[in-house]
Every structure is written in C-alpha cells, then in structure tokens.
Amino acid sequence: MNNSPLPLFDAWFAEAIASEPIVPEAMSVATVDADGRPSSRMVLLKAHDERGFVFYTNLESRKALDIAANPNAALLFHWKSLKRQVRIEGLLSLTSDAEADAYFATRDRESQLGAWASDQSRPLESRETFDRRFAEMHSRFDGIAVSRPPFWSGYRLVPDRIELWQDRAHRLHERRLFIKSGNLWTESILYP
C-alpha cells in the first residue's frame, strides 16, 4: 500500500505558512559526526517535493563535515501555533550545481556576499575581521553579479521515515508514522 505522507506534509506546511507567525520554514537539522557526536541546528527549508527536502549551506561548515562522515540525518519542524510537529529521517545528498546556482541567484545581494565572506562554523578572531571580509566582497563584486561560491551548495534529505504529530487534549496526542521501503510508503500509528 502506498500511503505517501507528502500530500499531508504539503497541507500542514501550507497551514503553517498561513498561521505560523515567525518563519514556518524553519527546521532543525540533526547530524552526527564521525565520532558519533550529535549536533542540531536551525536552517530554512528552501524546497521540497517527492525527491526530498532541500536546504543550503557552506560545504565547509560543521554540518557539512558531519554529513560527509555520515549522511544519515533528521529534520524537525515544530509549528507551535498549530500544535504540530513533523519528524523526517533519511539520507542527505548534494543538490545539483544547477539547483544550487538557481537558488543562490534568488538570494539578496547582501546574503550572497555574506556567503563569500563567511568561513561558517570556524573560529572568528573578531567581528571586525568578518566585517572587513564582507567589505572586501563588496569591492570584489562591485558592478557585477555575485556568483555562487564553490564551497556553497544545497543538500536534499531523501526521506525514508516521516512522523506527523498532532497535539491532543490530556496528552493523548496523535502520531502517524510513515516508513518507506523501495517506492512504497506504509503507515502506522504510535502511542502518544
């Protein structure tokens, strides 16, 4: 039986966009490094479809190093106004260069320049150093389009497990679990 959770996610996401007051596309990305140490951080969902869930980052960041060591990851959306959360697990892989270029072109110029100026996740001696590097990028790209840095791209999480959680009175929550095997999704429910 193919009970894909993706149409339900789409409906919940549309409701979150309509009702969540602050950044409904915010999601936690949890990774594990080569030593098994977990790490979680907030990023923004930039695309999703039947192929997976996409976010963008510096390929030299801590999360990218974790992903290189272990591509298994988890996403978590929490929409407090709707009393819902969605947990998604699967494997991460890089988006295509064409996808990364297309998304990078939609970012505002200051964010594009910031991508060039930042050594994301690495130690920074002072804020002045970063401000200077940012100013250098302004000069470097003065009067020309800002190209995507070679160290910046996107990741797509291809889900194999999705849990949709809905708050209910007296902590009698509803938990729907979808597990993918091959091209088929099966659905079950979990105790709260």
Q: Which of 127, 133, 156, 171 is catalytic?
A: 171
Q: What's the CATH class of domain 6-105+151-190?
A: mainly beta
In the chain, what percentage of residues exceed pLDDT 90? 97
Task: State how far the Cα of 15 lies from the Cα of 7, in Å rounded to an integer.
Answer: 12
- Which residue's structure tokens are 């064409």? 98
**pLDDT value, residue 36:** 95
For residue 171, indicate whether it is catalytic. yes
pLDDT in tens, 23-43: 999 999 999 999 999 999 999
Structural domain boundaries of the chain? 6-105+151-190
**pLDDT value, residue 101:** 98
Dump strand ranges (E) for 33-109: 38-44, 47-49, 52-58, 72-79, 84-94
CA atoms within 13 A of residue 139's CA, in its CB half-sphere: 6
pLDDT in tens, 112-154: 999 999 999 899 999 999 999 999 999 999 999 999 999 999 9
